[in-house]
Amino acid sequence: MRIKKTTACNLLLCLLSLPVMAQVKPADYVNPIIGTNGMGHTFPGACVPHGIVQLSPDTDTIPHNVNGVYQPRAYEYCAGYQYKDSTIVGFSHTHLSGTGHSDLGDILIMPFTGPLQTNPGTASDPDSGYRSRFSHNTEVARPGYYEVMLSDDAIKVQLTTTERVGIHKYTYPRGASQKIIVDLNHAIYNYDGKVLWANLRVENDTLLTGYRITNGWSRVNYTYFAISFSKSIKKYGYEDKQKIAYNGFWRRFKVNENFPEIGGRKVVSYFEFDDSDNKPLEIKVALSGVSTLGALKNLEAEASGRTFDELTIQAAEKWNKELSVIEAHGDKDKLTMLYTSLYHTLINPSVYADVDGQYRGVDQAVHQTKDFMNYTVFSVWDTYRALHPLFNIINRERNTDMVKSMIAHSQQSVHKALPVWSHMGNENWCMIGYHSVSVLSDAIAKGLPVDKDQSLKAMISSSSIPYYDHTDEYMKLGYVSFDQSASAASITLEYAYDDWTIYKLAQSMGNQKVADEYKKRALSYRNLFDKELGFARPRYADGTWKPAFSLLNTHGEGFIEGNSWNYSFYVPHDVNGLIEMMGGDSRFINKLDSLFSMHLPDEFFAHTEDVTREGLLGTYVHGNEPSHHIPYLYMWSSKPWKTQYWIREIMNRMYRNNIDGLCGNDDCGQMSAWYVLSAMGFYPVCPGTDQYVIGAPYLPYMKLTLENGKELVIKADKVSDKNRYVKSVKLNGKPYHKAFIGQQDIMNGGELTFEMSSQPNKQRIFKGENRPYSLSE
């Protein structure tokens, strides 16, 4: 990874003279390459905040051979890119950021100069296809911009985007012919048959339109496009790698050359351009989920008449504006980590509507937005925890639209369900719970202008679908039985929290009937707590506990993405109740201590596929989300300073400024949102309350510039790994004795001052109203 000279220079200045110099812009700190190797699953390419076009190199996405059957790569290539790879297949326009399941990679373009090859070839033999070798030394990645030199044909590639348009600039060697592949068969999570249909029209010598429909993780994904070129097409053609039924075309035409209408299942096309001027080729690719006309409108509105360089500057400006919500002091690595985390929180969800407001809903029909912008990519099981709560501080307008998008989704859903895991007008039902109810409840608790009646209606219907993941049994027994589901215990615990958020909203609206019903459901977590064992434990429908139960294993023990050690703490809405169930304060603390510091036997790692020893603190797994709130739970105990200790430990160990610097999937910004919030010094343990539980700031100075014009300054002079403990807190100069800060205090702006110390302040214990919220007081 080569740092661009100007940036390197600024960074040098910043190292020499803290605080940050004015000329250094926040985007200069962002290192999009963080997390692009291993399990971060982030992509290095170009995008603008919450833009649907995420234009990025794909290094390998072809199916892998599993016992002779080619299976899609569901996990490793979620972002299409792994830093360890040494070849690039091409540049596609849609990606997921940090997910644990893959999809997309739509509309791949690859420049070349030599003989035509219509297959991508293999990583082990790049010359067997159109892919090219490259060196990371030639890569430049910064917000809204990506650059690389394709070494096979010596073509310099530069990429930038708007929200709905990807812009490519290809500089070919002088005198070389200028050609590109447009591979409509390429995909991430590719398999034989992913593309249901692809269509391409050569409208004139500088304009293509078309679409493809895919069946992937998104079950039916419609991607329409309009592609304009800066110079004339001289010649073109295509190959369809799968015979279609009616071949009338073939008999009558030479359809594989200069025939302006191309359709099929596995269509790879090529275009050759007028190279007489030796100028670079610029390509603008507009996407739409609605129609080619929508794509043309997007192209016209966002990119027509502007050069690559102008659009690159515009993309950088957009990022600097959004990233400027935080101003911070700190060393380079910490600022890089902070701004890269903030950057990662501003990628998904993405706008999913044309400039005229038309979009494809989860009913697969086209809708017209009226009073909101429609968003997609809702990884809600991850993002309800910290990403949407973070947005309620720094990104409120967008989060309002996201919530409205969720409500519209529920209205279009045949199940009348809010999103579980949805993207591109599809519900993929990944993971568990119905956590959108938390996002809605939290948004309303934090004052977003969202219709409460519509919200409550959608929340009730989402939580009452009898056939949805054993909700029927849950409503009947008070838990999901291990007879029914291998994730029964996780599901039950998460339903209980989700139901509490519905209780909370209903109560605030004075709807006592609903509040009472859901309060009862919110206590369901108790049904799966084995008091004798002191842990959450799955049970059968007849009430008996699962025998031969392992607290450490995840798989086969009733949990998902977390073992009983972690999930037993999953009662964010009733920590007091949990403490009581666990036998009181000291037992609770002991258990937390053990969680973070136990030594796991080596054989444990032999049986896990996505957890390594360095990804763990004891058996606390930060790479998976169910534990994200746990380090903050000490704040309910008599030893709150332990939160301060472990938060910093996690930030230091689990987030690093390098290619594999993320200890797990970034999960559409959830991992990063945890970091940004924890760096501020507080975290939303229980979204749906208006409280952020106070940990300790990571940096000596941070200023939040809020959408209402107010500024919140967070000071922590002399904070360091040594001085990680909070001695005292002041809000606007007055001593502050609560374990949490409320939404309103944040929105009012002012100054939150932490006095830091190398020793815990064992007097700073929270009681009564100063303790954070619990359902059981």
Taking the complex as a whole, the smallest distance from the CB of residue 387 to a copy of itself amounts, in Å, to 22
Joined tokens for residue 743: 């939404």
List alpha helices for 427-571, DSSP H: 436-445, 452-462, 471-477, 488-508, 512-522, 564-567
249 scored as a contact of a copy of itself (CB under 8 A): yes
Which span sits near a copy of itself by CB under 8 A: 208-216, 267-275, 379-387, 659-667? Answer: 208-216
Pair 700, 330: CB distance under 8 Å: yes
540 scored as a contact of a copy of itself (CB under 8 A): no
Pair 94, 117: CB distance under 8 Å: no
Pair 41, 78: CB distance under 8 Å: yes
75 scored as a contact of a copy of itself (CB under 8 A): no
292 scored as a contact of a copy of itself (CB under 8 A): yes
Q: At a CB cut-off of 8 Å and minimum separation 6, what does 247 contact?
A: none
> Which CA distances in Å does 351 have to 325, 413, 496?
20, 19, 31
430 scored as a contact of a copy of itself (CB under 8 A): yes
SS3 368: strand
Give whichever of 265 and 715 is closer to a copy of itself, judged by the CB atom.
265
Taking the complex as a whole, the smallest distance from the CB of residue 209 to a copy of itself amounts, in Å, to 8
154 DSSP 8-state letter: T
467 scored as a contact of a copy of itself (CB under 8 A): yes
Give whichever of 336 and 471 is closer to a copy of itself, judged by the CB atom.
471
SS3 167: strand
SS3 564: helix
189 scored as a contact of a copy of itself (CB under 8 A): yes
Percent of the chain that is helix, strand, coil (3-state, to 5)? 30, 25, 45
Taking the complex as a whole, the smallest distance from the CB of residue 461 to a copy of itself amounts, in Å, to 13
Strands (E), 258-392: 261-264, 267-273, 281-288, 326-329, 350-351, 358-360, 366-368, 375-376, 378-379
Kindly state the number of chain residues that form the binding site for a copy of itself, as judged by CB under 8 A. 48
364 scored as a contact of a copy of itself (CB under 8 A): yes
- Give CA–CA dist 90/669, Å, rounded: 25
Binding mask 99-138 for a copy of itself (x = CB under 8 A): --x-------------------------------------
655 DSSP 8-state letter: B
Which one-letter amino acid corresponds to residue 119? N
197 scored as a contact of a copy of itself (CB under 8 A): yes
Give whichever of 94 and 723 is closer to a copy of itself, judged by the CB atom.
94
Which span sits near a copy of itself by CB under 8 A: 40-48, 148-156, 462-470, 672-680? Answer: 462-470
Taking the complex as a whole, the smallest distance from the CB of residue 513 to a copy of itself amounts, in Å, to 25
Give whichever of 194 and 519 is closer to a copy of itself, judged by the CB atom.
194
253 scored as a contact of a copy of itself (CB under 8 A): yes
207 scored as a contact of a copy of itself (CB under 8 A): no
Give whichever of 480 and 719 is closer to a copy of itself, judged by the CB atom.
480
Write b or e for each residue in 80-117: b if 16 or more Cβ atoms lie within 10 A of its Cβ, otherwise e: bbbbebebbbbbbbbbbbbbbbbbbbbbbbbbbbeeeb
> Which CA distances in Å does 684 have to 518, 528, 567, 572?
21, 25, 18, 10
Pair 619, 552: CB distance under 8 Å: yes
Taking the complex as a whole, the smallest distance from the CB of residue 216 to a copy of itself amounts, in Å, to 6
252 scored as a contact of a copy of itself (CB under 8 A): yes
Among 206, 215, 705, 728, the residue binding a copy of itself under the rule CB under 8 A is: 215
> Which CA distances in Å does 244 have to 196, 247, 283, 449, 460?
12, 7, 30, 51, 47
Among 1, 24, 293, 355, the residue binding a copy of itself under the rule CB under 8 A is: 293
Which span sits near a copy of itself by CB under 8 A: 467-475, 637-645, 741-749, 762-770? Answer: 467-475
Residues 310-329 that bind a copy of itself (CB under 8 A): none
Residue ranges binding a copy of itself (CB under 8 A): 72, 101, 189, 191, 193-194, 196-197, 199, 201-203, 211, 213, 215-217, 219-220, 244-246, 248-249, 252-254, 258-261, 263, 265, 291-293, 363-366, 414-415, 428-430, 467-469
